[in-house]
A and B are shown apart, each in its own frame.
Chain A
Amino acid sequence: MSIGLTLLGLLEGGSRHGYDLKRAYDDRFGQNRSLAYGQVYSTLSRLLRDGLVAVDGVESGEGPERKRYSITPEGVEALERWLSTSEKPVADLHNTLFTKVVLAVLSGRDAHQVLDAQRRAHMDVMRDLTRRKSKADPTAQLVHDFSLFHLEADLRWLELAVSRLEQLTKEIAP
Chain B
Amino acid sequence: MTLDASPDHREDAEPVLAGSDLHLSFGPTPALRGASLSVGAGETVAVTGSSGSGKSTLLHCLAGILMPESGQVRYGDHDITALPDKQRSALRRTDFGFVFQFGQLVPELTVDENVALPLRLAGVGHKEARRRAAHWMERLEVTGIADHRPGEISGGQGQRTAVARALVADPVVVFADEPTGALDSLAGEQVMTLLSDVAEESTTAVVLVTHEPRVAAYADREVVIRDGSTQREQEPVR
Contacts and interface: CB of A to CB of B under 8 A. Distances in A.
Contacts of B6: 124, 127
B174 to A, nearest CB: 18
B237 A163 contact: no
Nearest to B238: A109
Contacts of B231: 116
B133 interface: no
Interface of A is mostly: helix
Interface in A99-119: 104, 109-110, 112-114, 116-117, 119
A117 B236 contact: yes
Contacts of B197: 134
Contacts of A117: 234, 236-237
A123 interface: yes
Given A119-B224, A123-B5, A127-B6, A152 B234 contact: no
B196 to A, nearest CB: 8
Contacts of B5: 119-120, 123-124
Contacts of B226: 162
A126 B212 CA distance: 12
B77 interface: no
A116 B230 CA distance: 13
A129 interface: yes
A129 B217 contact: yes
Contact of A112 (B193, B222, B234): B234
B104 interface: no
B3 interface: yes
A96 to B, nearest CB: 14
B234 A126 contact: no
Given A126-B213, A129-B217, A162-B226, A113 B3 contact: no
Interface residues of A, number: 27
Given A116-B231, A124-B5, A152 B214 contact: yes
Contacts of B236: 113, 117
B12 interface: no
Contacts of B214: 126, 130, 148-149, 152
Contacts of A129: 217
Interface centre among B212, B219, B222, B236 (most CB of A within 10 A): B222
Contacts of A119: 3, 5, 224
B216 A113 contact: no
A104 B237 CA distance: 9
Given A116-B3, A119-B224, A151 B234 contact: no
Contacts of A123: 5, 213, 216-217, 222
A104 B236 CA distance: 13
B235 interface: yes
A109 B224 CA distance: 21
A112 B235 CA distance: 11
B189 to A, nearest CB: 9
Contact of A148 (B7, B217, B224): B217
A134 B94 CA distance: 31
Interface of A: 104, 109-110, 112-114, 116-117, 119-120, 122-124, 126-127, 129-130, 134, 148-149, 151-152, 155-156, 159, 162-163
11 contacts: A112-B234, A116-B224, A117-B234, A119-B3, A119-B224, A123-B216, A124-B5, A127-B6, A127-B219, A130-B218, A134-B197
Interface of B: 3, 5-7, 50, 193, 197, 212-214, 216-220, 222, 224, 226, 231, 234-238
Given A120-B5, A149-B214, 16 more contacts: A112-B234, A113-B234, A113-B236, A113-B237, A116-B224, A117-B236, A119-B3, A119-B5, A124-B5, A124-B6, A126-B217, A127-B220, A130-B214, A134-B197, A148-B214, A152-B214
